[in-house]
Amino acid sequence: MKRVLITGVTGQDGAYLSQLLLAKGYEVYGLVRRSSAMDVMDEKLRWLGVADHIRMVDGNLTDLSSLLRVLKDVKPDEVYNLGAQSFVKSSWNQPLLTGSVTGLGAANVLEAVRLEAPGARFYQASSSEMFGLIQEPRQSEKTPFYPRSPYAAAKLYAHWMTVNYRESFGLHASSGILFNHESPLRGIEFVTRKITDGVARIKLGLQEKLALGNLDAKRDWGHARDYVKAMWLMLQQDKPDDYVVATGRTASVREFCDIAFSHVGLRADDHITTDARYLRPAEVEVLLGDPTKVRDRLGWRSETSLEALVAEMVEADLKRVARRVAS
């Protein structure tokens, strides 16, 4: 039985990855930062019914000594670094924290792997936000980066440190440059969940309007359940490498809203308002991934259409909101 350590195990990707690896017979360990909110931290894992099958271990991305201890105890075959301060908007308000956790945190995990588990295969969660002010219409592994937020800059540092540890120390270290991937487990602070939660509330008569920021920003949206399969595939290869993971289709926030509202028989234009408070200081206007390499080398394809993704999220939020109202 293979052992795996996942940082960020309580997040969206950590939950879906845990579900996938448990189904494949892995022994799954999750790194958790202890806090007063421990009673709700595993909500996403419980949603998927896997919380009781994961062994939680105390540690922190900013504390190298804790990572060394965990790796020594767990002795993992694979390490997935999904932990981060991952809300882009907050990174302008907390740039140093974002750099410490999202950037230096990844370097800490790499260093711990090098010292305690050099034979383990390592995955770094890189981000399409690193492309920022896009230098090519379709972004591939060869597209130059131009980060436009403290979050993206921190992710870029972590990305290049992964390449450096691979080339300097021979670690089997790969990065997945994942474009936006959503699900019913997406945090409520992200625009996609904010939209589907708002649609549910409006449909159930709990509110009239939904305030958003830039409706014209375009993203390449896929399903997190599909994308974690690509993570796993990367670590099954003989040689480590970096891969763009995307659908190859881009859609605006406005189009996402149209799909979500039409799913419940409403018109988005009747309910959407814009609020400057939700605008980024430096916007990333368009992201569109080129998944040719991940398709040709790993045989991976996005299996969920944008319409199916949005429908799944709206249905989940309708049930959530209705349950809260009933209680």
pLDDT tens-place string over residues 123-159: 999 999 999 999 999 999 999 999 999 999 999 999 9
What is the tally of structural domains in the chain?
2
Confidence tier at 229 by pLDDT (50, 70, 90): very high
Q: Are 210 and 258 in contact (CB under 8 A)?
A: no
C-alpha distances in Å from residue 197, one per residue of 190, 191, 295, 322: 11, 10, 33, 11
Predicted local distance difference test score (pLDDT) of residue 213: 95
Q: Quick one: what percent of the chain has pLDDT higher than 70?
A: 98
Predicted local distance difference test score (pLDDT) of residue 87: 80
Question: Which residues are the active-site residues?
Answer: 127, 129, 151
Predicted local distance difference test score (pLDDT) of residue 33: 86
Indicate if the pLDDT at residue 31 is higher than 90.
yes
Predicted local distance difference test score (pLDDT) of residue 327: 81
CA 279 to chain CA centroid, Å, is 21
Indicate if the pLDDT at residue 272 is higher than 90.
yes
Which residue did the predictor score with more confidence, 86 or 195? 195
pLDDT in tens, 295-318: 999 999 999 999 999 999 999 999
**Whether residue 50 is found in the same domain as residue 134:** yes
Stretch 222-242: mean pLDDT: 98
Asked if the structure places residue 211 within a domain, the reply is yes
Asked if the structure places residue 256 within a domain, the reply is yes
**Whether residue 123 is found in the same domain as residue 199:** no
Full domain range(s) for residue 238 = 3-181+221-245
Predicted local distance difference test score (pLDDT) of residue 86: 82
